Homo-oligomer: A and B are copies of this chain.
Amino acid sequence: MSLENGILGYLSIKPLSGYDLKKLFNMSAAYFWPADQAQIYRSLKKLVADGSIELTEYSHGETVNKKIYAITAKGRETLRDWLLVPKRSDFITHAPYLMQLFLSGALSRDEQITFIDRQLKEIGGLIQRLRDNYIENKSAFAVTTGLSKDDRRFEAAVYAHRWGILSYQTYANLLESIKADILAEKDDQRE
Contact = CB atoms under 8 A, between A and B. Distances in A.
Interface of A: 2, 5-6, 9, 12-13, 28-34, 79-80, 82-107, 109, 111-112, 114-115, 118-119, 122-123, 125-126, 151-157, 159-160, 162-163, 166-168, 170-171, 174, 178, 182
**A2, A80, A87, A152 — most chain B CB neighbours (10 Å):** A152
B99 A111 contact: no
Where chain A touches its partner, the secondary structure class is helix
A13 to B, nearest CB: 7
A85 B115 CA distance: 8
A36 to B, nearest CB: 11
A97 B89 CA distance: 9
A68 to B, nearest CB: 19
